[in-house]
Amino acid sequence: MHSPPVKAAPCNAEAPGGGIAGRVGGRMSDSTHVAGRLSGQVVIVTGGTKGIGRGIAERLALEGARVVITGRDRAAGEETVRAIEEMVAGGAPRSSAGDRAPAESAPATGGRAASDTPAAGDRAPDGDGATARGDCRHIVSDNADPGSIGAAVEQVLGEHGRIDALVNNAATMERETILSTEPEFLERVLRINLVGAVEFCRQIMPAMIERGDGHIVNIGSTHAWSGLEDLFAYSISKGALLTLTHHIARNYAGRGIRANWVTVGWVKTPGEIDVWAKQGRDERWIERKASEVVPLGRLQTPEEMGAAVAFLLSPDAGQITGTELDVTGGLRV
């Protein structure tokens, strides 16, 4: 396992674009979405209100998906929905996930909370009549609460009649070494990062099996292969999530379900900037360090994670299952 050789470097990191972070090797990154490639797909993205999850939600909506993001923060969810729907409608230009001002004049179709009911006609119909333009909504849900997860899944199935794909992204990166980890701490991290992901799968997979089609993408980490010393609980939760991916791929392919994994590297998000700022290190320091330790010379972006997930959920990946897609700039080479 390769990881930035700095003790506090997280894997699922986040921040605004700029500097060397806009380059792919020596070239500027210019990932172009494929309009309509995911048209009409109903996709749940857990932890989709910020950072990597938001980058994924943005890309899926741009490609035509009916995206449902989950998260505990209602205000953050509503702001993310407004921004995504404005972006899909051709409004404000995007930057790295979370690095934009709230949209003041976004379409009214976004921003609904878990208890809200969509107005008739304000969303494109599901199935063959769906338009190429996607949309987004937020449901308040806690990955640590099985009841909350069940309610979210029931709501989406009730509104759309199906769930085409699940992206297990929600996670906590609380830090302790194996020597300082108390049972309660370990249980909390595993409940959010692993048990929550399993519960989403358990609740959604029966409907996928009934339809004979479904896709699951688990968002992983380079830490799954050993991890930094103070990310013990996080690392083993991601290792187990990788096993879950392989388990579903191996045992449920015959029932139409594909399961894949995206290995996330050092991603530039607002949360990552905050982590290093607390240690007195600014954005330029982060970029300089990334240029030294990432073979392709820079941090990754939430948008690039979104591009990877969009590919895996697309018809282009119809024969891909049980795959570990490495989007780390070469950290694991």
Catalytic residues: 234
Minimal CA–CA distance to 133: which of 37, 30, 32, 31?
37
**Pure H helices in the chain:** 51-62, 74-88, 146-160, 183-190, 196-211, 232-252, 270-277, 283-293, 302-313
Give the integer Cα–Cα distance in Å for 36 and 131: 8
Minimal CA–CA distance to 96: which of 310, 319, 317, 273?
273
Give the integer Cα–Cα distance in Å for 316 and 330: 24
| Residues in a beta bridge with 45 | 69, 167
Give the integer Cα–Cα distance in Å for 91 and 172: 32
